[in-house]
Amino acid sequence: MIKPLSLLALAAVIFGIGTNYYLRRIPDMPKLDFERWWGNGDKPNREDKTIRPFKIIFNDTMIEDLKNRLRNRRPYTQPLEGIQSEYGMNTIYLDKMLQYWLDKYNFEERANLLNRYPHYKTKIQGLDIHYMRVKPEEKDKKVLPILLLHGWPSSSKEFDKIIPMLTTPRTEYDFVFEVIAVDLPGFGFSEGTNKPGLNPVQIGIVMRNLMKRLGYDKFYIQAGDWGSQTASHMCTIFPDEILGFHTNMPLSGRKISNLKYLVGSMFPSLMVESKHRHRMYPLKDFFMYLVRESGYFHLQATKPDTIGAAVTDTPAGMAAYIFEKIGICANRKQLDTQHGGLENIEIDDLLDTATIMWANACITTSMRIYAEAFAWPETSIIQDIPTKVPTAAINFLHEVLYQPDWILRDKFVNLVHSTTLDFGGHFAAMQTPKELADDVFESVNEFIKFNTNNDKKL
């Protein structure tokens, strides 16, 4: 007769084996339509494939309307006694930013600054996609194409400081970059869709088709935030076309990775080196951070059109909403200040971001990416499939989530370069562009070595 304890042990072993199999099982790639139509109406018999020069203009009508709305805003409720940014956007500081936007922000000068780069638009799968394409002047080095992808609430403007750093040759490298910095669909100057389903997987297909339109069958990617999720899917779907993926928001969303993160909390000293342990554990601190800061995420992942309607005709409200999240992601440890982290990024860069969003009325279309990412099973399926594309990770101190390399390798099998810094935040291209550019050069050098050894070349 089998003893109860033996039965229990046997059941535990079977459960453990089954769980391990389920968590490590690699799902099949779902069927995807690489030409899915996102434009208005049905797909026409003949598509417009022209590439058109584009110039950013903040026109007088938009500016005057914006300023009138800022002038006529209602007085804000003051923060509670002894409270800085712990309850959200400090309205005393917000007033100062809005007054700067009204009186000192130079719309024409800022537009001209962005227009120093060549801008273009072209229709991909029915959507007008805006991008900057900046070629280096260097003739004696290899020119490597790199696609830059942003997240929310940003646009390709996020990369305006890093572009010259990537297109300027360095003596220690025999290559330099040609940069393609894109506005994701529904962000910046890129057109949004009126059809449901445009999640990061589908956006990745749009981005890949854009690069093919520009003549690139193989290229590198640098990305953060939703751009990083989009790029991760691109690496999984098109592994032979992506020569290397550099991310400042490295994240493995595989089921096994989530389990490792939880189990690691019971043995933190074995899971992560001591100098980085505080970035992961104790889990209580991480969950408290999520509870405190993820309300916007839940709202945008469920009812983006509600908050979109609430702020779509108030530049002051829109600015408060996006600036508060930018501040916390720039430095989560500065809630005890009026600026709440915003002073880690130059005010004109912040107001460029707000002005672009306001001028294009894209607060709602940009927020829908959260809902679309969770509404369609293809995102979670592809997220659970590893990729062999050589990958590099840079971890800035105040990034939303930290995963050590041994977890990242669940998704990114060939993690060839990893950097962890004790400063910086989520919007690295605006906040710490030099460090980001330095790491891109170092990483691509490693990608080239890896690809050479594996017969994968440009």
Q: Do β-strands 391-395 and 415-420 pair in parallel, antiparallel, or remain unpaired? A: parallel
- Is the pTM for the entire model greater than 0.85? yes
- Name the DSSP letter for residue 387: B
Contact 279, 402 (CB under 8 A): yes
| Residue where the block lists tokens 């009508």 | 61
- The span from the CA of 207 to the CA of 230, in Å, is 9
What pLDDT score was predicted for residue 11?
39
Q: What is the pLDDT of residue 423?
A: 97
Upstream peptide bond of 386 is cis (omega within 30 degrees of 0): no
Sign of the alpha-carbon dihedral angle for 303, 306, 309, 315: negative
Count of helix runs (H) and strand runs (E) in the chain = 19, 9
Instruction: Please name each of the domains of the chain with its CATH number.
Output: 119-254+384-458 (3.40.50.1820)
Closest CA to 308 of 360, 359, 364: 364
**pLDDT in the model for residue 20:** 54
Q: Characterize 343-359 residue by residue with b for buried, 16 or more Cβ atoms within 10 angstroms of its Cβ, and e for exposed.
A: bbbebbbbbbbbbbbbb
User: Which residues are designated catalytic?
Assistant: 225, 370, 426
Give the pLDDT of residue 18: 47
Instruction: List residues bridging with 87 in a β-sheet.
Output: none
Q: Alpha carbon of 98 to those of 296, 315, 318: distances in Å?
A: 22, 9, 11
* pLDDT tens for each residue of the chain, 458 residues long: 445 545 444 434 343 444 454 466 899 999 999 999 999 999 999 999 999 999 999 999 999 999 999 999 999 999 999 999 999 999 999 999 999 999 999 999 999 999 999 999 999 999 999 999 999 988 899 999 999 999 999 999 999 999 999 999 999 999 999 999 999 999 999 999 999 999 999 999 999 999 999 999 999 999 999 999 999 999 999 999 999 999 999 999 999 999 998 888 887 776 778 888 888 888 888 889 989 999 999 999 999 999 999 999 999 999 999 999 999 999 999 999 999 999 999 999 999 999 999 999 999 999 999 999 999 999 999 999 999 999 999 999 999 999 999 999 999 999 999 999 999 999 999 999 999 999 999 999 999 999 999 987 77
Q: What share of the chain is helix, strand, coil (3-state, %, to 5)?
A: 50, 15, 40
